[in-house]
Amino acid sequence: MLPLQYAPRWRSASIVLLLVVLLAAISPAVWFWPDRVRILSWLATFDKWAHAATFALLAVWFAGQYRPRSYWRIAIGLVGYGLLIEICQRMVGYRTAEWLDIAADATGIIIGLAIATAGIGGWSLRFESWLIRKRA
């Protein structure tokens, strides 16, 4: 982990973020939508994009807190997290697990870590220094 002044808060926020993603992944996809037929057809194409975007954001989130030499650990951890989500989705009766979701997760992870490598990695250090300057 990077030498973050607020490391315990970053860890807590990370846990909350992962729990929110897990809860969103295992919640019924259409319980809140009145026109279920329309939303189900839309979700069929949107699902893979949502997986990729979510895991790209997770990769950027964690790349903000770890050094670039740890990015491979982030990738392995997030692929494992994607597998956990699919296992949980298989366990609930109203969601399905798909291997293509894992592929979309991996694509998002690669994109997120590429973005981090291109310059956004370590963003939490910059955010903390901005916050400290603002408070001073």
Domain boundaries, given as residue ranges, for the chain:
37-135
Average pLDDT on 41-52 reads 80
Q: When comparing pLDDT for 29 and 130, which is higher?
A: 130
Structure tokens at 61: 């989130």
| Residue 94's pLDDT band (cuts 50, 70, 90) | confident
89: CB partners within 8 A, 6+ apart: 25, 26, 95, 96, 97
Q: What is the pTM of this model?
A: 0.89
Backbone angles phi, psi at 99, to 5 degrees: -65, -30
* pLDDT digit string, tens, across residues 28-43: 865 555 665 566 666 6
Are the beta carbons of 101 and 47 closer than 8 angstroms?
A: yes
Confidence of residue 81 (pLDDT cuts 50, 70, 90): very high
| Helix 36-63 / helix 7-26 crossing angle, nearest 10 deg | 160
pLDDT attached to residue 41: 66
Given this model, what pLDDT does residue 56 score?
A: 98
